Chains A and B, each alone.
Chain A
Amino acid sequence: MGKNFLHPKSLKKVDTHYCPGCGHGIIHRIIAGIVDELGIREKTIAVTPVGCAVIAYDYWDFNCCEAPHGRGLAVATGIKRCLPQNIVFTYQGDGDLASIGIAETIHAANRAEAISCIFVNNGCYGMTGGQLAPTTLIGQKTITTPFGRDPNKGEGWPLKLTEILASLEGVCFAARTSLAGPKEILNTQTQIKKAFLAQIEKKKFSIVEVLSPCPTVWQKEPTKAIEFIQQEVIKTFPVGIIKEL
């Protein structure tokens, strides 16, 4: 437990640009800790997204590569096939992974690429100012669903990408966790570590979806955003291990 409070070597000692109460910083810290713990810093390669976490490489201190919006898992495929001994992961938002990049996502998983995907579900497009994401809850307001997401108006239902991926042969580990409290954060750490280990041992695709607060777009105080995950988000997106081979 004690080492959880030390600053990971894989995390640069800089302030992040994230809004107060945002989950990205916590997930960055969790990943850096796991990379240290597994002793894989020298051979880890992160593929960073286009989204709020676009400059994650300014925070992590291991090799990183940018990908065009949504194409993270195609870029990661190229990297991993050339360097099969390395640990490759993508870090992607819901717009990046589940909307513009859904073809790349499903096909990388279906090919059983030995890549771990960290999927940050904040229910919106944060970077571009808070639009509808595939994961936006029914009734949730965004700047492009100003009256609340309504499936009956052709705005679709919240997309359960992790469940879809779990149904594929190429996926050996799929879990959903949240950042809604210390216990949940520790569980997120446990599951992401499992995803990395699955990549190393099972040599197939692994994914962890993290329900993450976006107080700015949700227009809620950080504590209220946490409560919103606990009370609302998990009703649509239940946490737990969805697949573990």
Chain B
Amino acid sequence: MAKNKLLLSGNEAMGEAAIRAGCFFYAGYPITPQNELTSYMAKRMPQEKRVFIQAESEIAAINMVLGAAVTGKRTMTSSSSPGISLKQEGISYLAGCQLPAVIINVMRGGPGLGNIASSQSDYFQATRGGGHGDYFTPVLAPFSVQEAAELVMLSFDIADYYLTPTIVLADAIIGQMCEPLVLPKKSNFNKKIPPKKWALNWMDKEGKVVKSLFLKEGDLEKHNQRLQKKWQKIKKNEQRSSVYKTDDAKYIAIAYGSQARITLEAIEILRNKGIKIGLFRPISLWPYPVDMLQNITTNVKKIFVIEQSLGQMLEDVRLALPNKQIHFLGRAGGGVPTVSEIVKFIKKFI
């Protein structure tokens, strides 16, 4: 293995990437399948003279993160589906207060306690705000350990630039699998992050206030409109996706996260049979990479959406491509569409 390559699990890689991105404060609460991330931070943060807290709950963890964000320090929490549900009030406050923070969700099966197998059924929660109020959060979905590290670094920059909580939506397979990776030195974010003048680590002539409460008539509406402008800007600037063999494709499969990895193999098999099919892989789930998807599908006849859910991203594909024939293959509750299932499914429509 090359000298600068490390062998880490997705969970550990995301932890190390956060540390290299300058994360100063991490709080988390144990939940499978992301425990390796919390224990990695427990070991590494003190080594770097930074703060690790095992919080008393996910609610406490996200609110500690809110407190850390207020000081202007980079901060992160991680959890898995049920724990992310508990964090939603805090994420809504972060959005309302315009505070940067990174939240990692290593998704597992639901609803309820569900199970600990890989799932992509928190897509709606992640991409539609998730908590109360009119807001969105940028959502990035890695499909390899390498990309998991890169997207965690990127998410800190996006959070700081736009002053927004930012979600890395991984799944249990990505969190658990071990792969060699080269840890990036910095993210590929190309905008200059402004200084955090609003942070409470120093006082102006007058006291500063961080809040999401606007009681005077009309003030909250104005605040929401300001936020809306920000979401529109993010929608325009931060769409990310990757394509594979789409140039001559008559058919396109769409999948993200670990499901994209699995779908890639199915594409190879179908290509070997002479079927002109390619893969579109959204990296940002919010904003959904609509522009790219529309660009590459002008000559495409049929679309296949494949998910570890019973059809959540499917809705964004339908919104982006209202006039296309779209077929859906999904499994939930820890079920993962396999290579042979995907091949069989696609062949039915060709």
Task: Determine if B211 and A57 form an interchain contact, defined as CB atoms under 8 angstroms apart.
Answer: yes
Task: Determine if B203 and A79 form an interchain contact, defined as CB atoms under 8 angstroms apart.
Answer: no
| Closest residue of A by beta carbon distance from B97 | A66
A234 within 8 A of B: no
CA distance A202 to B242 in the complex (A): 55
CA distance A66 to B200 in the complex (A): 12
Interface size in chain B (residues, C-beta < 8 A): 39
Task: Determine if A71 and B60 form an interchain contact, defined as CB atoms under 8 angstroms apart.
Answer: yes
Given known A82-B51, A103-B60, contact A77–B211 (CB-CB < 8 A): no
B303 within 8 A of A: no
**Max count, chain A CB within 10 A of own CB: residue among B206, B209, B211:** B209
A41 within 8 A of B: yes
Minimum Cβ distance to chain A for residue B163 (Å) = 15
State which residues 205-248 of B face A: CB under 8 Å. 206-213, 215
State which residues 204-229 of A face B: CB under 8 Å. none
Given known A61-B207, A104-B56, contact A77–B67 (CB-CB < 8 A): yes
Q: Is the interface on chain A under 10, 10 to 19, 20 to 34, or 35 or more residues? A: 35 or more
A118-130: contact bitstring with B at CB < 8 Å (1 yes, 0 no)?
0000000000000
B325 within 8 A of A: no
Given known A78-B25, A81-B25, contact A55–B215 (CB-CB < 8 A): yes
CA distance A76 to B332 in the complex (A): 39
CA distance A200 to B36 in the complex (A): 36
Q: Report A-chain residues with C-beta under 8 Å of the C-beta of B24.
A: 82
Interface of B is mostly: mixed
Task: Determine if B60 and A74 form an interchain contact, defined as CB atoms under 8 angstroms apart.
Answer: yes
B71 within 8 A of A: yes
Q: Report A-chain residues with C-beta under 8 Å of the C-beta of B89.
A: 68
| Closest residue of A by beta carbon distance from B210 | A65
B100 within 8 A of A: no
Q: Report A-chain residues with C-beta under 8 Å of the C-beta of B31.
A: none
**Max count, chain B CB within 10 A of own CB: residue among A41, A82, A103:** A82
Task: Determine if B63 and A78 form an interchain contact, defined as CB atoms under 8 angstroms apart.
Answer: yes
Given known A79-B71, A79-B200, contact A67–B66 (CB-CB < 8 A): yes
| Closest residue of B by beta carbon distance from A41 | B203
Task: Determine if A81 and B51 form an interchain contact, defined as CB atoms under 8 angstroms apart.
Answer: yes
Task: Determine if A77 and B53 form an interchain contact, defined as CB atoms under 8 angstroms apart.
Answer: yes
Given known A67-B66, A79-B68, contact A74–B209 (CB-CB < 8 A): no
CA distance A81 to B70 in the complex (A): 12
Minimum Cβ distance to chain B for residue A78 (Å) = 2
Minimum Cβ distance to chain A for residue B206 (Å) = 6
A62 within 8 A of B: yes
A46-68: contact bitstring with B at CB < 8 Å (1 yes, 0 no)?
01100000110100111111111
CA distance A66 to B96 in the complex (A): 11
Q: From the candidates A62, A68, A77, A82, name the one contacting B203 in the complex (CB within 8 A).
A: A62
A42 within 8 A of B: yes
Task: Determine if B70 and A77 form an interchain contact, defined as CB atoms under 8 angstroms apart.
Answer: no
Q: Report A-chain residues with C-beta under 8 Å of the C-beta of B202.
A: 42
Minimum Cβ distance to chain B for residue A77 (Å) = 5
Minimum Cβ distance to chain B for residue A13 (Å) = 12
B166 within 8 A of A: no
Q: From the candidates B27, B59, B208, name the one contacting A78 in the complex (CB within 8 A).
A: B27
Minimum Cβ distance to chain B for residue A7 (Å) = 15
Minimum Cβ distance to chain B for residue A72 (Å) = 8
Q: From the candidates A62, A68, A111, name the one contacting B63 in the complex (CB within 8 A).
A: A68
Q: Report A-chain residues with C-beta under 8 Å of the C-beta of B211.
A: 48, 57, 64-66
CA distance A111 to B60 in the complex (A): 13
A95-115: contact bitstring with B at CB < 8 Å (1 yes, 0 no)?
000000001101100010000
Task: Determine if B25 and A103 form an interchain contact, defined as CB atoms under 8 angstroms apart.
Answer: no
Task: Determine if A60 and B207 form an interchain contact, defined as CB atoms under 8 angstroms apart.
Answer: yes
Minimum Cβ distance to chain B for residue A145 (Å) = 27
B69 within 8 A of A: yes
Task: Determine if A61 and B206 form an interchain contact, defined as CB atoms under 8 angstroms apart.
Answer: yes
Task: Determine if A77 and B64 form an interchain contact, defined as CB atoms under 8 angstroms apart.
Answer: yes
| Closest residue of A by beta carbon distance from B56 | A107
Minimum Cβ distance to chain A for residue B227 (Å) = 16
B59-83: contact bitstring with A at CB < 8 Å (1 yes, 0 no)?
1110111111111010100000000
Task: Determine if A68 and B56 form an interchain contact, defined as CB atoms under 8 angstroms apart.
Answer: no
A143 within 8 A of B: no
Task: Determine if B213 and A54 form an interchain contact, defined as CB atoms under 8 angstroms apart.
Answer: yes
Task: Determine if B209 and A57 form an interchain contact, defined as CB atoms under 8 angstroms apart.
Answer: yes
Task: Determine if B67 and A63 form an interchain contact, defined as CB atoms under 8 angstroms apart.
Answer: no
| Closest residue of B by beta carbon distance from A82 | B71
Q: Report B-chain residues with C-beta under 8 Å of the C-beta of A45.
A: 200
A83 within 8 A of B: yes
| Closest residue of B by beta carbon distance from A42 | B203
B136 within 8 A of A: no
Known: A63-B208, A66-B211, A78-B67. 8 other contacts (CB 8 A): A64-B209, A66-B97, A67-B67, A68-B93, A71-B63, A74-B59, A75-B66, A79-B70
Binding site for A on B (CB under 8 A): 24-25, 27, 51, 53, 55-57, 59-61, 63-71, 73, 75, 89-90, 93, 97, 200-203, 206-213, 215
A-B contacts, 15 of them at CB < 8 A, read A54-B213, A62-B207, A63-B209, A65-B67, A65-B210, A68-B93, A76-B67, A78-B67, A82-B73, A82-B75, A83-B71, A83-B201, A103-B56, A103-B57, A104-B63
Q: Which 5 A-B pairs have the closest CB atoms?
A: A78-B67, A74-B63, A78-B68, A75-B67, A78-B64
